Structure 1
Amino acid sequence: MSLALQGRRLWVTRPQAQADPLCDLLQQAGATPVRVPLLQILPPEDPQVLHAALARLGDYAVAIAISPSALDSVFAQLGEQAWPADVPLAVVGPGSARRARELGLRDEQIICPATQFDSEGLLAEAAFAPEVIQGQRVLILRGNGGREVLAQTLIARGAQVDIVSAYRRLPPQLDAATLARLLDAGCDGIIVSSSEAAAYLFTQSGAALVQRLQSMQYFTPHPRIAAVLAHHGASRHVLTEAGDQGIVNTLCRHFNRTP
């Protein structure tokens, strides 16, 4: 894969704090990553709610962190407090699993789907089977808003679910003129890892810029994100493998195949 992406300028649209690992891999493959954060990650509106939930972590049979942002916020709040050894932490993808390990959790404490990296994949894990989760307390740590399928399904299976906002997602601090200048500098592809970010890219731009964005090549790890892009008129999108290395592998194959 060495320098397989030489000369390619690729937008990385993750929040600023989460972009480094993917940017590093892209650079190792010869690409020029351009950081274009399409989400702002801020503390929750009421941090005391999160603080209170973490103070009683031992009361839960399992906790679920929806994203790396949730993990970062939670462990920043924990400070010197250790994660309870007997409380598994469930995450929905390899990026979050890697981040959980970096934050000190052991593999045996982490629940992560092997293939389908979303709420439905997590719900298929043995720990969330109806006969296992019924009557158990579950803590969901997420951003403001988000899909409800995870909480709704767990409640239907008999679990007692507490949902706590660990952080807030806000639109990017990017204007149309800045995006236009970045496009003028050259862009071979836009990597989008969030449905919300995909929507912001188009809703925060003027009509003329939207037309340019619709013609761009997109790379995304989930069909749901591709559907949002398609809804906004972007027809050129490639589904990637999961995880940062999977994204880079897909990019290498794509650009080696495409003149």
Structure 2
Amino acid sequence: MNTAALAGKHVLVTRAIEQAQPLINRIEEVGGIAHVIPLLSFQTIEEAHHIEQVRNSLEHYQWLVFTSANGVRFFFEAFKEDHLRSIIKKANIAVVGHKTEAVLNQYGYQASLLPKHYVAEDLVLVLREHINEGERVLLPRGNLGRTYLPKALSAHGIEVDDLTVYKTVCPDVAKDHIQSLINEHIPLDVITFTSSSAVKHYTQILEGLELEDPFPYARIACIGPIAEKTAQEYHLQVDITASTYTIEGLIEAISTYFKEDENY
């Protein structure tokens, strides 16, 4: 890729602060100017009675399914090693993407199943081929996880326990930071969304500021079809959607868009 593919372009990064750096680095590597306003923050569940219930019955699950790196992190924070032995030794582990797999590896465990595309629909197809009817699946994830995955698995006779191990919130300071960006007249060229939650929080902030389109010349770039669909549902015009649902794929799609735009 041309190292100056985004030369001088102002790009808004909306990822959680602990996840933003890889995207910031790639934007800067291709000549872009990154502006970071995290629209997501992840917190542990304070009232965790449901976690305690699952902790006492871990040995009854045949599968662990992780749909995000955060799901892995918060799961291992919630369950001590002695509790995990009862499930990890005998359960199969499925993950939705390589980043999730990498975090799992950091805890010393290997995934036995990984779909080709990093979306729930592909994960369901793969799991249906490997999980037997009547087997139990533990699905540790955030409070805003899509309902598609547990519903689709349950429809095929697979027992799924949807375990909320963390919650996703919008940082209190995000609204002020967006207002500052507007006040400073930053000419945003691209607004990136790597999750549906970021899209929702962005539109909620604009509603709170009573602003419909504060960045009229900015292109909306989504990491994949799920974020794209959410953006469209919130009446945002999506200009760029990555075909490979990764940070690298997103930067490639944005760079290609501007390269083609320059040819007209």
| TM-score in terms of structure 2 length | 0.83
Q: Aligned partners of 1:119, 1:10: CA distance in 2, in Å?
A: 28
Cα deviation, 1:41-72, whole Å, max 9, x if unaligned, reads 11013245335535654432111122222112
**What corresponds to 2:246 in structure 1?**
243
For 1:214 and 1:164, locate their aligned partners in 2 and report how far apart those are by CA, in whole Å: 40
- How far is 1:182 from its partner? 1.9
Q: Structure 1 regions of 5+ residues with no counterpart?
A: none
Q: Are the counterparts in 2 of residues 133 and 157 from structure 1 also a CA contact under 8 Å?
A: no
1:141 aligns with 2:140: yes
Shift of 1:192: 0.4
| C-alpha distance in 1 between matches for 2:261 and 2:102 | 31
Seen in structure 2, the aligned counterparts of structure 1 residues 148 and 228 have a Cα distance that, compared at 3 Å, is closer
Q: How far apart are residue 113 of structure 1 and its match?
A: 1.2
Using the size of structure 1 for normalisation, the TM-score is 0.85
**Using the alignment, how far apart are the partners of 2:107 and 2:9 within structure 1?**
33
In structure 1, C-alpha distance between the alignment counterparts of 2:135 and 2:77, rounded to whole Å: 26
Q: What residue number does 2:128 align with?
A: 128
Q: What aligned pairs does 1:1-259 form with structure 2 within 5 A after superposition?
A: 1=1, 2-47=3-48, 49-50=50-51, 53-54=54-55, 56-78=57-79, 84-106=88-110, 109-115=111-117, 117-125=118-126, 127-129=127-129, 132-174=131-173, 176-183=175-182, 184-205=185-206, 206=208, 208-213=210-215, 216-240=218-242, 241-259=244-262
Q: Which amino acid aligns with 1:191?
A: T
Distance of 1:178 and 1:50 partners within structure 2: 35
- C-alpha distance 236-148 of structure 1, shift in aligned 2 (>3 A): closer
Which segments of 5 or more consecutive residues in structure 2 lack a partner in the other structure? none
Query: Aligned in 2, Cα 1:34/1:128: closer, same or farther, shift over 3 Å?
Result: same
Distance (Å, rounded) in 1 between the aligned partners of 2:61 and 2:159: 9
Contact conserved, 2:223 with 2:247, CA < 8 A, in 1? no
Pairwise CA RMSD of aligned residues? 2.6
What is the distance in 1 between the residues matched to 2:59 and 2:31? 46
Number of aligned residues: 254
Aligned residues of 1:45 and 1:168 also touching (Cα < 8 A): no
